[in-house]
Structure 1
């Protein structure tokens, strides 16, 4: 399992830019000239112009541009500017001047960090021919403590430009550090493959294990070798590879072939031996970039859409996910526990649901598992918020269909209102309301969580998602997005903020008059924004805490506001008593008929009345003009007849 990296090692690069820095007189310019001319120069200018090594200089066939720098105080600005555009840094010291070695850790390496130069560093000891023969300290002994402190150092090497010892190797290692970087693959401290690298290699292993028996047979190993390196493995080579693995790691090989453990061990071995190009070639052949994520060009699907369109999973994708759910529900309990879910996403760069807004967004079973509905709900939420992430993760976990068949863009909400019907299967509901109105309790009850008397204010948008069973049969997915009172102004500062909303609800504490007042103010604000932006949304008022006595004028106030704005009366609910009053079905029902339940403000009514007057006036003008034209035509006919008879 080896071979030339070829053009795949480019990682999309057509050039590598290397900046050479170090104390004055450490041999920077001589090193560059000797590498380019393959001869030691008789005289060298203080600072060289940019030097180019052609594509055929090194096996990877990527040209190099080498930038010489001056360390003088006057040139410090130019030096810093060059470092900003470096792909790698060659940092020099002079083997015959120990003080220049000390300056690496006291000045140069800390300075690179201060400037946030986050590229590989190759430390080069120049003038090896001038080193005192009595100094018999090995390079490893000298550099080991520095490399421990500065992990950005990729390689250390000593050279002599005069004697032409290891000069071409300096820039070869610098180029290699850029094209085949260690950092994404390997943790130097623990001497293990990094998690994302393991996940990518596991996915590649599964893709190559055609008969799904958990091992790569000789034929599968050979196919893998041909795919990655364009050359078959000889039978003796396959035997040799398996023998190496078996000697070090018995479980790496079984009667069926090379196991996943053995496959990962081989790659760790290549990296430890400095053959990173082998692992990078494999990763790039399977579409991975330098961040060990699949390249963007592998996802040709465009998610270009109007602000009031959203993205949903297709039936094909849902069926695939149901199959995946059953495959990873190892204990067959109808739920994916955390370990099973981790296993399912073990071929993705990381689990996509480990952080907000997905973490704890769906209903959990008693053993902290996700039911099938909960699992599909999380996918629906991710598809709504980040369809590109959904598509990538579908492919990471094994979706092999046409990427375009996995997701669909919905009809515009504006068109839904005209047609008086929505055909979506996923609805997003914005949850507004003042502090302590009961918004979070509503979201928690949606996920079947017990009511808590403890109040902790929500400080940022929070999402919950669940499947709602319809009365007439069928299921819809509802996403509740809780918007803190303090976040409403920021939300509505964007003209298109309501475009993605299917329905808005306004929650208030039914026992508190000030809560009602604030909720109606929010309702008026949102309704006005919808009218102004053209993205009007159906609205419902939710009277929470129905277990408490309502404030004195509650019925009169709510009747007046709902009648004035032309929407339904508030829906009473009590999360404490578990009396939800079919609230979630009612939310879905209102969202399915987006032409109804749209509140009207006085300004909106006046605007509509004004438009009606203008339209009526235009109609009268049109009728008047038509009458005038008919009259003129009649007069002409009459005049023509009159002149004919005369």
Structure 2
């Protein structure tokens, strides 16, 4: 909505433009009328719409045609004043004033299409109305929004005249209704359809009395009385064939009512509804509508709050028509029908575990929103605004759907965390099985994912992991091999780094080792030996993986295979989650042994270290 309104009064000399302005301000007819009134600003608190209003007078005696063109350009609405007792001033409306306004263009030459109000003054001096003539003019020009007869002398209809002028700017008709087709415009119908679906909390495609009253209260802060509800339904029933169903209002009936508001000049009713649900003057959702203004410290993360989880749960239940616990393609399309685009494509579906039909189950549906909240909570706020989070059973602020966790530094110092979502960056050379590991998290084996491009391109997967009876969300992030750098390795955005190597490839471990030795941030690290279904080979490295991990106080390499569903290794995901939840139990590399360090110790020292380790294994073997 505009922040202020600028009203310009034009017309022939002596029609009473200045008198109308002065009578509005003083609430009495002025005895001495100057040739032109100075610009007047009416404060917001004394206007019906609580919007500051600037009223500008024009006089050809004092101002030039160039000044008039400039004032028309700056004005939001033009009031063309005529004398009801002087036919010549009426004739000049169509022969001069309307064409003058219509020819006023923007800087780029686009017609401004400003609204116009036709104002007949001196009605106290005439016994006959000029409305019939004026209505003919209105029917010719869609820019002429209304006409009214006033009397400055009797101070009659003056405040109404300025109210209509203000209303034509604040609640414009053109975006909502076409005078040519006598129908709602397509953008208006689309916006109202979204609002109807949001208010249909039960998802049965009707607004029952409870939902209708909730909608009425949210928009206008006053519920409908029983007789008013009945009047609305009777009106819809008389004028539409399918506006009611099971005594509830259908979408057809809902759209009919707003069309009726347009025909009766009650544009403000529909605009109030649209603006309550976040629409701007262009009938697009305002940019600020999905802005929660949430401040997120660098060492904190974002998770779905209980309120956010409950909202998405109700949304799922509303769209799961057959109650099978999964969203079919049709149900998924219905879910996002209130949004400008369908955001969940095949690649997104590869991020989660689906059922045997490839459909999103309830758990995976929530997991996707958890993932989006973690990665970009502002994007979640946008979707929440599309879905009508602020217009459910209870009005809420967007920020209540998200929880900002406390700093990871505090979690480390207190050695405990309340977080539920953890991220692991997966680093490994091409062919090591990064995609297979990610898809293993969502229970897909290698035989299921081979040849699927959408799976190969997936950067994230997410699933729940049960850790000592508590459900945690684990996010795996595949890092592009040629984009691994120091900054990424020491990022505070992840909770664990997994270094994946192919145990059947002798050169694989040394490749990931080069990157591991650049990790200095203390982020827990884990080596994963992929393709454990194949025979392990000796790695082309000065130290073999198990000894390297032992010397550096790291967990032993974890084997992983996802060749088939039967061989899919799942314990690795519990290990990763445990490292993320309890990072203080992980070695901090305070006595770090790199391959270079071992060599520099000298041959004897290196042999001593290796010999001690082999002796330990020998003694342990003999004990058993």
Q: TM-score, normalised by structure 1?
A: 0.61
Query: How is 1:144-155 mapped onto 2 (pairs within 5 angstroms)?
Result: 155=143
Instruction: Tell me, yes or no, if structure 1 residue 65 matches structure 2 residue 65.
Output: no
**What CA deviation, in whole Å up to 9, does each residue of 1:528-551 have, x standing for no partner?**
3x2xxxxx3212233445667878
Contact 2:150 2:158 in 1 (8 A): no
Contact 2:77 2:169 in 1 (8 A): no
Query: How is 1:190-209 mapped onto 2 (pairs within 5 angstroms)?
Result: 190-191=185-186, 193-204=188-199, 206=201
In structure 2, the CA distance between the partners of 1:564 and 1:218, relative to structure 1 (3 Å rule), is closer
Match of residue 467, structure 1, among 450, 464, 488: 464
- What is the SS of the residue equivalent to 2:460? strand
Match of residue 375, structure 1, among 354, 365, 369: 365
Post-superposition shift, 1:277? 0.9
Post-superposition shift, 1:516? 5.2
Contact 1:196 1:350 in 2 (8 A): no
CA distance in 1, matches of 2:145, 2:207: 40
Q: Which residue of 2 aligns with 1:630?
A: none
Contact 1:223 1:232 in 2 (8 A): no
Count of residues in correspondence between the two structures = 539
CA distance in 2, matches of 1:226, 1:505: 50
- What is the SS of the residue equivalent to 2:583? coil
**What CA deviation, in whole Å up to 9, does each residue of 1:334-379 have, x standing for no partner?**
2122433455566x66689547996653322233432121122123
CA distance in 2, matches of 1:111, 1:102: 12
Q: Which residue of 2 aligns with 1:553?
A: 539
- What is the SS of the residue equivalent to 1:331? coil
In structure 2, the CA distance between the partners of 1:59 and 1:359, relative to structure 1 (3 Å rule), is farther
- What is the SS of the residue equivalent to 1:477? strand
Instruction: Tell me, yes or no, if structure 1 residue 336 matches structure 2 residue 327.
Output: yes
In structure 2, the CA distance between the partners of 1:362 and 1:242, relative to structure 1 (3 Å rule), is same
CA distance in 2, matches of 1:174, 1:419: 64
Q: Which residue of 2 aligns with 1:430?
A: 425
Post-superposition shift, 1:435? 5.6
Q: Which residue of 1 aligns with 2:130?
A: none
**What CA deviation, in whole Å up to 9, does each residue of 1:553-609 have, x standing for no partner?**
34655527545644234444344555543332221122122124456388999xxxx
In structure 2, the CA distance between the partners of 1:517 and 1:67, relative to structure 1 (3 Å rule), is farther
Match of residue 567, structure 1, among 516, 541, 554: 554
Q: Which residue of 2 aligns with 1:619?
A: none
Post-superposition shift, 1:503? 1.6
Q: Which residue of 1 aligns with 2:516?
A: 523
In structure 2, the CA distance between the partners of 1:522 and 1:546, relative to structure 1 (3 Å rule), is same
Contact 2:177 2:262 in 1 (8 A): yes
Instruction: Tell me, yes or no, if structure 1 residue 52 matches structure 2 residue 52.
Output: no
Q: Which residue of 1 aligns with 2:106?
A: 108
Match of residue 538, structure 1, among 501, 524, 545: 524
Q: TM-score, normalised by structure 2?
A: 0.63
Q: Which residue of 1 aligns with 2:610?
A: none
CA distance in 1, matches of 2:388, 2:145: 44
CA distance in 2, matches of 1:587, 1:143: 71
Query: How is 1:134-153 mapped onto 2 (pairs within 5 angstroms)?
Result: none
In structure 2, the CA distance between the partners of 1:591 and 1:230, relative to structure 1 (3 Å rule), is closer
Instruction: Tell me, yes or no, if structure 1 residue 478 matches structure 2 residue 467.
Output: no
In structure 2, the CA distance between the partners of 1:507 and 1:174, relative to structure 1 (3 Å rule), is farther
Query: How is 1:228-247 mapped onto 2 (pairs within 5 angstroms)?
Result: 228=220, 235=227, 240-247=231-238
Query: How is 1:483-522 mapped onto 2 (pairs within 5 angstroms)?
Result: 483-485=479-481, 492=488, 498-508=491-501, 519-522=512-515
In structure 2, the CA distance between the partners of 1:542 and 1:58, relative to structure 1 (3 Å rule), is same
CA distance in 1, matches of 2:351, 2:494: 18
CA distance in 1, matches of 2:538, 2:211: 81
Contact 2:304 2:403 in 1 (8 A): yes
Name the Cα RMSD after superposition: 6.1
CA distance in 1, matches of 2:413, 2:329: 44
In structure 2, the CA distance between the partners of 1:307 and 1:228, relative to structure 1 (3 Å rule), is same
- What is the SS of the residue equivalent to 2:450? coil
Q: Which residue of 1 aligns with 2:579?
A: 590
Match of residue 452, structure 1, among 447, 450, 458: 450
Q: Which residue of 1 aligns with 2:435?
A: 440
CA distance in 2, matches of 1:424, 1:360: 25
Q: Which residue of 2 aligns with 1:310?
A: 301
CA distance in 2, matches of 1:315, 1:195: 31
- What is the SS of the residue equivalent to 1:479? strand
In structure 2, the CA distance between the partners of 1:475 and 1:221, relative to structure 1 (3 Å rule), is closer
CA distance in 2, matches of 1:219, 1:552: 69
Q: Which residue of 2 aligns with 1:365?
A: 355
CA distance in 2, matches of 1:406, 1:59: 35
